[in-house]
């Protein structure tokens, strides 16, 4: 018999509407599972009292026939990058370890207005800078399929919570793959929406032209449902687009017959794990069997994507993180030797090594004499990458690729080699540079039992087509219904 906390979000929502379960019971099941899997390190903070209070209110509404909608009473959790009124928001960093948010991010407010129960805040790489969740200042999260492996990053805690059943869904952020990559490595579904579709107001910034908020869920139906709640124009966010995009839930079961799916030849090259390649090729064959037309496309500037991304992202990070100076909020270390020394001590103790590495690199590429050679050139290559995608979408409705070149690797295996860590994002960063949406969903398992992810990429505002195609594949296999063994580390 399926445990309550292992139901999908959609299944729980329907059960709540029918009166078969109560939000309080679902919330207690998640809190119990979180306690049982505490060693996986998914949560940085659990607000049990607040969650129980919200669940009780949802139960009262349901009994009175005043349910707010499909998310009313559903327990969710948040990556610790979203400001959440009255709760600590650390961004996985010592420099914010005692910071209590004074207001809700727009997406958090939309979830609360929909009646969702907020369980707590989830682990992440410090300031979202990482691909393994090992750069969290409070310790790494661990993959629920094998606690000796990384869960991916930077939204690792979000993927772990969903995969392990300690939340029915979670929100993450994706700057270069930070939703899709951990979703792939933990065997769940993750969506990076079109840039501007979901508000970034109240989301701690890493790289402002790349960051986007999105859902991590157990299956594609859940993903579409959660996106519907958080998406939409927000006048508080100047990068939020006033675009009325197609519904991600309508037409979800329509299938892929007649769709053209492009396979980028540059994404199937030497270096990709053979088991990943085989799993993705089988998924492509499944789509062909469902009536999709498979065509080869080219993204010729893919080889420059990693370098372009790490120049632009670090430059924007250097600018965004300048505000953490020990003066206005957050950590302050003042030995009384003047403001310069206070800055040095605060930032030296508050930031971890990966954040420092990226600040230094970003400051360098923005400095006089190097701006044109690095940052300005990277922006020009970004335009070429965007044009590559536009040309590909002239031939295909969606693109089909691996999400990650390998399954989850061992904890500590790449910490001494930042370049190898950065290369884990080779198939995901182009999506952010182009501002297009991307969906990752499970497409199989390696021989060692670790999940493998399939990535679907679409033109701007095509989330409805992405979720429709993802759902079509999902119906053919049970990958999304499999749950990890929950071995306690």
Q: What is the pLDDT along the chain (489 residues), one digit of tens a residue?
A: 679 999 999 999 999 999 999 999 999 999 999 999 999 999 999 999 999 999 999 999 999 999 999 999 999 999 999 999 999 999 999 999 999 999 999 999 999 999 999 999 999 999 999 999 999 999 999 999 999 999 999 999 999 999 999 999 999 999 999 999 999 999 999 999 999 999 999 999 999 999 999 999 999 999 999 999 999 999 999 999 999 888 999 999 999 999 999 999 999 987 899 999 999 999 999 999 999 999 999 999 999 999 999 999 999 999 999 999 988 888 999 888 888 899 999 999 999 999 999 999 999 999 988 999 999 999 999 999 999 999 999 999 999 999 999 999 999 999 988 888 888 899 999 999 999 999 999 999 999 999 999 999 999 999 999 999 999 999 999 999 999 987 444
Tell me what pLDDT residue 489 has. 44
Question: What would the two tokens of residue 426 be?
Answer: 């080779």
Find where tokens 């059960």 sit: 15
| CA–CA dist 177, 182 (Å, integer) | 8
Q: Which of 79, 121, 192, 218 is catalytic?
A: 79
Tell me what pLDDT residue 1 has. 65
Q: Answer yes or no: 154 catalytic.
A: yes
Q: Which of 93, 178, 221, 480 is catalytic?
A: 178
**For residue 215, what are the β-bridge partners?**
171
Find where tokens 């579709």 sit: 197
Question: What would the two tokens of residue 132 be?
Answer: 């393994």
Spatial contact of 181 and 188, defined as CB atoms under 8 Å apart: no
pLDDT in tens, 334-350: 888 888 899 999 999 99
| CA–CA dist 64, 84 (Å, integer) | 28
Tell me what pLDDT residue 283 has. 98
Spatial contact of 307 and 378, defined as CB atoms under 8 Å apart: yes
Question: What would the two tokens of residue 170 be?
Answer: 């979670």
- What domains are there in the chain, each with its CATH number? 4-256 (3.90.1300.10), 303-379 (no CATH)
| CA–CA dist 136, 124 (Å, integer) | 6
Q: Which of these, 137, 198, 182, 179, lies nearest to 324 by C-alpha position? A: 137
Tell me what pLDDT residue 338 has. 87
What DSSP assignment string belongs to 320-369? HGGG-SSSSSS-----SS-HHHHHHHHHHHHS-HHHHHHHHHHHHHHSTT
For 325, other C-beta atoms within 10 Å of its C-beta total 17
Tell me what pLDDT residue 420 has. 86
> Measuring CA to CA, how many Å separate 352 from each of 91, 138, 402?
12, 11, 31
What DSSP assignment string belongs to 218-242? SSHHHHHHHHHHHBS--TT-TT---
pLDDT in tens, 413-458: 999 888 888 888 999 999 999 999 999 999 999 999 999 999 999 9
Question: What would the two tokens of residue 365 be?
Answer: 């590429």
For 290, other C-beta atoms within 10 Å of its C-beta total 17
Spatial contact of 343 and 117, defined as CB atoms under 8 Å apart: no
> Measuring CA to CA, how many Å separate 229 from each of 113, 162, 245, 270, 407?
10, 18, 13, 40, 31
> Measuring CA to CA, how many Å separate 301 from each of 267, 351, 429?
11, 33, 12
Find how far residue 171's CA is from the centre of its chain.
7
Tell me what pLDDT residue 200 has. 98
Give the up-direction half-sphere exposure of residue 250: CA atoms within 13 A in the CB hemisphere. Answer: 4
pTM above 0.85, yes or no: yes
Q: Which of 154, 164, 440, 480 is catalytic?
A: 154
Tell me what pLDDT residue 291 has. 98
Q: In terms of C-beta density within 10 A (0-12 exposed, 13-18 middle, 19 or more buried), how is residue 102 classed?
A: exposed
Identify whether 154 is preceded by a cis peptide bond (ω within 30 of 0).
Answer: yes
DSSP state of 486: -
Q: Which residues contact 136 (CB under 8 A, 6 or more apart)?
A: 44, 92, 123, 124, 125, 126, 130, 156, 157
Q: Answer yes or no: 367 catalytic.
A: no
Spatial contact of 179 and 192, defined as CB atoms under 8 Å apart: yes
Question: What would the two tokens of residue 361 be?
Answer: 């690199």
Name the maximum alpha-carbon separation found in the chain: 71
Q: Answer yes or no: 79 catalytic.
A: yes
Q: Which of these, 174, 200, 38, lies nearest to 106 by C-alpha position? A: 200
Tell me what pLDDT residue 488 has. 46
């Amino acid at each position: 018999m399926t445990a309550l906390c292992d139901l999908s979000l959609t299944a729980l929502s329907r059960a709540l509407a029918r009166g078969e379960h109560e939000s309080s019971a679902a919330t207690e099941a998640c809190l119990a599972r979180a306690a049982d899997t505490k060693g996986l390190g998914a949560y940085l903070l659990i607000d049990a009292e607040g969650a129980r209070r919200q669940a009780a209110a949802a139960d009262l509404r349901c009994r009175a026939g005043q349910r707010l909608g499909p998310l009313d009473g559903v327990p969710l959790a948040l990556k610790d990058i979203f400001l959440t009124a009255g709760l600590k928001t650390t961004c996985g960093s010592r420099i914010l370890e005692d910071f209590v948010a004074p207001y809700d991010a727009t997406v958090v407010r939309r979830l609360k207005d929909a009646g969702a129960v907020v369980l707590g805040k989830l682990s992440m790489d410090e300031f979202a800078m990482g691909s393994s969740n090992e750069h969290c200042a409070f310790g790494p999260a661990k993959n629920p399929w094998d606690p000796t492996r990384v869960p991916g990053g930077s939204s690792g805690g979000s993927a772990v919570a969903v995969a392990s059943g300690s939340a029915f869904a979670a929100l993450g952020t994706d700057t270069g793959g930070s939703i899709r990559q951990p979703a792939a490595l933990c065997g769940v579904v993750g969506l990076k929406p079109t840039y501007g579709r979901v508000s970034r107001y109240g989301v701690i910034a890493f790289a402002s032209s790349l960051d986007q908020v999105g859902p991590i869920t157990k299956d594609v139906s859940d993903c579409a449902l959660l996106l519907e709640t958080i998406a939409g124009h927000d006048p508080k966010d100047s990068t939020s687009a006033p675009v009325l995009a197609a519904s991600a839930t309508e037409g979800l079961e329509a299938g892929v017959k007649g769709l053209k799916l492009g396979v980028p030849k540059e994404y199937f090259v030497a270096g990709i794990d053979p088991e990943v390649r085989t799993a993705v090729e089988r998924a492509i064959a499944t789509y062909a069997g469902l009536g999709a037309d498979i065509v080869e496309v080219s993204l010729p500037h893919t080889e420059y994507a990693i370098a372009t991304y790490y120049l632009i992202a670090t430059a924007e990070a250097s600018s965004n993180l300048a505000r953490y100076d020990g003066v206005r909020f957050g950590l302050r270390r003042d030995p009384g030797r003047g403001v310069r020394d206070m800055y040095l001590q605060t930032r030296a103790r508050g930031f971890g090594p990966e954040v420092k590495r990226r600040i230094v690199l970003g400051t360098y590429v923005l400095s006089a004499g190097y701006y044109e050679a690095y940052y300005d050139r990277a922006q020009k290559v970004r335009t070429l990458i965007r044009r590559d995608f536009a040309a590909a979408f002239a031939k295909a409705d969606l693109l089909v690729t691996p999400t990650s070149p390998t399954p989850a690797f061992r904890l500590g295996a790449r910490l001494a080699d930042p370049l190898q860590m950065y290369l884990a994002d080779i198939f995901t960063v182009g999506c952010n540079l182009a501002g297009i949406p991307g969906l990752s969903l499970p497409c199989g398992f390696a021989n060692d039992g670790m999940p493998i992810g399939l990535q679907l990429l679409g033109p701007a505002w095509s989330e409805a087509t992405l979720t429709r195609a993802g759902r079509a594949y999902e119906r053919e296999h049970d990958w999304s219904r499999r749950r990890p063994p929950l071995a306690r580390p």
